[in-house]
Structure 1
Amino acid sequence: MIRALRAYVAVVDRVNLGLGRVMMWGIFALMGVLLWSTASKAMGTPSLWTLETAQFVMMGYFMLGGPYALLIGANVRMDLFYGELSPRRKAVTDCVTVVFLLVYLGILMWGGVESTIYAFQYGGERSPSAWRPYMWPIKVVMCTGIGLMLLQALSELAKDVLFLTTGTPDRTATEGPADAL
């Protein structure tokens, strides 16, 4: 059982670490779209596609980078009480609170899958804007990001369970934000 948990943690952490490091470069794609938008407006021929493309790129950046943020511990915590806890109590607290995260992500995934199915089912749902892009690509990215976040939350739970059972911290992919840079 312990070996299976460690293998799961290693695979999920490795995938999210790699994807997160790739997604770091997404900010440059967003900057490029916004730069083009500014330049095209300055030339007097504003592009129809830049606003929605920027929104789609930002959504991908956010959704696919979320599991990486959870992995390296860049998520926001209320350290008023948590910061003073012992490592063992932190692990117990995390085991309890991750249940709420999993429920929330499960509801998000359910809604995301339903919305994605709708986008495919009805002849390709399109945005109501002048550009009218198909909505299914961003909905697939959204579901992928939520799925990876679910897997990462389970990986964090597995790390806490391993710590509570073996007494040694199991940080397979990374030790923290400093290692990510």
Structure 2
Amino acid sequence: MYWLILLMVIVSSGNATIRYIFSNSSNAWLEVQWYLFSAVFLLCSGYTLLKNEHIRIDVVAGRLSRRAQIWIDILGTLFFLFPMALLILTLSWPMFMKSFTMMEMSSDAGGLIRWPVKLMIPLGFSLLMLQGVSELIKKVAILTGDRPDTGDHGHHHHTAADGEAA
């Protein structure tokens, strides 16, 4: 994914440079930019969950016991992450299949084929759900004493000494 980010920056800056210097642009290059952004964002969501870098309310959870934090993670996974990911996966799969079977093309002149970027949605949310299952198993194992609590995967909580708010 790091290479996709680098490629995204190169394509984006190259496209902007060509547009401003030569007053020329290509819809294909603009679409490549958002295809790459979509791939990075969607395919890395499960990895972000693994590294415990997802958005959370540390102001509240940080004041609770570790056991309460684990329960929040379990309940959040069961009642928010899984239903949301399953809903998006269920709704996005037919959209991808329709695009794939029609070999849908962008309506913009010089645009790209659309099914690869539409595949990123169900693929990304499938990976997120799989990581959610893994995290759920780990959290339950910690609560039952079958796994030691290793904390939050090295997530750095900022302190006042860091110059940032917690």
TM-score normalized by structure 2? 0.84
* Equivalent residue number for residue 13 of structure 2: 35
Matched, 1:96 2:75: yes
Given that residues 95 and 157 in structure 1 are in contact (C-alpha distance below 8 angstroms), is that contact kept between their aligned partners in structure 2? Answer: yes
Q: Post-superposition, which runs of at least 4 consecutive aligned residues in structure 1 deviate over 4 A?
A: none
Deviation at 1:89, TM superposition (A): 1.3
CA contact (8 A) 2:77 2:132 kept: yes
Preserved contact between residue 163 and residue 170 of structure 1 (Cα < 8 Å): no
Distance 2:105 2:46 in 1: 28
CA contact (8 A) 1:112 1:142 kept: yes
What TM-score do you get using the length of structure 1 for normalisation? 0.77
Cα distance in structure 2, aligned partners of 1:49 and 1:120: 18
Q: CA deviation at 1:146?
A: 0.9
The answer to which structure has the higher helix fraction is 1
Describe the SS at the equivalent of 1:49: helix
1:141 equivalent among 117, 120, 128? 120
Partner residue, 2:163: none
Stretches of structure 2 lacking an aligned partner (at least 5 in a row)? 157-166
Higher relative contact order (Cα pairs below 8 Å, separated by 6+ residues): 1
User: Which of 44, 51, 57 is matched with 2:30 structurally?
Assistant: 51
Are the equivalent residues in 2 in contact too, given 1:126–1:133 (CA < 8 A)? Answer: yes
Q: Please state if 1:112 is matched with 2:88.
A: no
Aligned residues: percent identity?
A: 26
Distance in 1, Cα, partners of 2:48 & 2:57: 16
Paired with 1:86 and 1:177, the residues of 2 have a C-alpha distance of 17
In 2, the alpha carbon distance for the partners of 1:120 and 1:64 equals 19
For the aligned residue pairs, the C-alpha RMSD in angstroms reads: 1.8
> Quick check: 1:124 aligned with 2:114?
no
Cα-to-partner distance string for 1:1-44 (whole Å, 9 max, x where unaligned): xxxxxxxxxxxxxxxxxxxxxx1332211111112212322123
Question: Structure 1 unaligned runs (5+)?
Answer: 1-22
1:176 aligned to which of 150, 154, 164: 154
